[in-house]
Protein backbone atom coordinates (compact mmCIF):
# COMPACT_ATOMS: atom_id res chain seq x y z
CA UNK A 1 0.00 0.00 0.00
CA UNK A 2 0.91 3.64 0.10
CA UNK A 3 0.91 3.75 3.90
CA UNK A 4 2.75 1.44 6.24
CA UNK A 5 0.38 -1.17 7.59
CA UNK A 6 -2.41 -0.53 5.08
CA UNK A 7 -2.95 -2.70 1.98
CA UNK A 8 -3.23 -1.02 -1.43
CA UNK A 9 -6.86 -2.19 -1.63
CA UNK A 10 -7.66 0.13 1.28
CA UNK A 11 -6.82 3.11 -0.94
CA UNK A 12 -9.17 1.84 -3.65
CA UNK A 13 -11.96 1.58 -1.08
CA UNK A 14 -11.39 5.15 0.10
CA UNK A 15 -11.42 6.50 -3.47
CA UNK A 16 -14.60 4.61 -4.26
CA UNK A 17 -16.33 5.95 -1.15
CA UNK A 18 -15.30 9.52 -1.99
CA UNK A 19 -16.52 9.15 -5.59
CA UNK A 20 -19.84 7.59 -4.56
CA UNK A 21 -20.47 10.30 -1.98
CA UNK A 22 -19.74 13.06 -4.49
CA UNK A 23 -22.03 11.46 -7.07
CA UNK A 24 -24.83 11.08 -4.52
CA UNK A 25 -24.52 14.77 -3.66
CA UNK A 26 -24.29 15.83 -7.31
CA UNK A 27 -20.84 17.25 -6.60
CA UNK A 28 -17.42 16.92 -8.17
CA UNK A 29 -14.59 15.33 -6.21
CA UNK A 30 -11.03 16.44 -6.87
CA UNK A 31 -8.61 13.80 -5.66
CA UNK A 32 -4.84 13.84 -5.55
CA UNK A 33 -2.07 11.93 -3.87
CA UNK A 34 0.77 13.96 -2.44
CA UNK A 35 4.04 12.25 -1.51
CA UNK A 36 5.67 15.01 0.50
CA UNK A 37 8.51 12.87 1.80
CA UNK A 38 9.78 12.15 -1.70
CA UNK A 39 9.04 15.58 -3.16
CA UNK A 40 10.45 17.54 -0.22
CA UNK A 41 12.77 15.25 1.78
CA UNK A 42 14.52 18.04 3.71
CA UNK A 43 11.45 20.15 4.57
CA UNK A 44 9.57 19.95 7.86
CA UNK A 45 6.35 18.25 6.74
CA UNK A 46 4.03 19.61 9.47
CA UNK A 47 5.07 23.14 8.47
CA UNK A 48 4.54 22.32 4.80
CA UNK A 49 0.99 21.06 5.46
CA UNK A 50 0.28 24.23 7.46
CA UNK A 51 1.58 26.41 4.62
CA UNK A 52 -0.58 24.52 2.10
CA UNK A 53 -3.60 25.01 4.37
CA UNK A 54 -2.95 28.76 4.58
CA UNK A 55 -2.84 29.09 0.78
CA UNK A 56 -6.19 27.34 0.42
CA UNK A 57 -5.33 23.66 0.13
CA UNK A 58 -7.86 22.24 2.55
CA UNK A 59 -10.96 20.14 2.80
CA UNK A 60 -12.58 17.31 4.71
CA UNK A 61 -9.44 15.16 4.69
CA UNK A 62 -7.51 18.01 6.28
CA UNK A 63 -10.10 18.79 8.94
Average pLDDT, the chain: 82
Residue 45 contacts residue 37 (beta carbons within 8 Å): yes
CA nearest neighbour of 1 among 15, 21, 17: 15
Which tens digit of pLDDT belongs to each residue from 26-39?
A: 998 888 777 777 88
Q: Is the pTM of this model over 0.75?
A: no
Amino acid sequence: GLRLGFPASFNVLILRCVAERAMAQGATAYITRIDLQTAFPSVGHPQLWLKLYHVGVSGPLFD
